[in-house]
Structure 1
């Protein structure tokens, strides 16, 4: 089971109050920037509704395989978003990568 689609999910909480203008701008910008990367499929910006989870949001996306996932991680747009936004605006996060 080492080939095939990869589903990548980043659960996170921002440094801003949930549903604030800053949080909504981060989600919008993240969706626009990350979904525009050619190897990204099925991008979703999601809001947490369970009280059992310590994170407020999730970016979920799929990749055709490991080559595409690696390309995403090395894409200049992804690297810039991480450096300029993620590292400065995210309070905590957990990444989950699953083979579909």
Structure 2
């Protein structure tokens, strides 16, 4: 990764079952909403497969720099996604 770029990862376990419709909707909504924020690059949804870790899923994304990350963090779509979930 280039100097100055930021990779942000959010890892989590949902209350719903791993393959439930609620989980699938949460992951799809996260991808749709968060990846549509203009400063987000290389958005990925991932599933943890190792038993060594205490989380089941994650979102990973990159930002050009700190300013881009700060813009994402303050973006209304990001704020609403976090607050409502």
TM-score class, shorter-chain normalisation, is: over 0.9
Equivalent position of 2:29 in the other structure: 29
Equivalent position of 2:18 in the other structure: 18
CA RMSD after TM alignment: 0.8
Instruction: Report the secondary structure of 1:14's partner residue.
Output: coil
Relative contact order higher in (CA < 8 Å, ≥ 6 apart): 1
> Could you list the runs of 5+ residues in structure 1 that have no partner in the other structure?
86-100
> Could you list the runs of 5+ residues in structure 2 that have no partner in the other structure?
none
Equivalent position of 2:45 in the other structure: 45
TM-score, normalising length from structure 2?
0.95
Paired with 1:40 and 1:19, the residues of 2 have a C-alpha distance of 27
- Structure 1 residue ranges, 4+ long, deviating more than 4 angstroms after superposition: none
Paired with 1:56 and 1:19, the residues of 2 have a C-alpha distance of 11
Aligned residues: 83
TM-score, normalising length from structure 1?
0.81
Q: Does 1:6 align with 2:39?
A: no
1:70 Cα deviation from its structure 2 partner: 0.3
1:19 Cα deviation from its structure 2 partner: 1.4
Q: Which whole-Å deviations, capped at 9, do the CAs of 1:42-75 have from their partners, x for residues lacking one?
A: 0001001001011000100000000000000000
Paired with 1:50 and 1:68, the residues of 2 have a C-alpha distance of 32
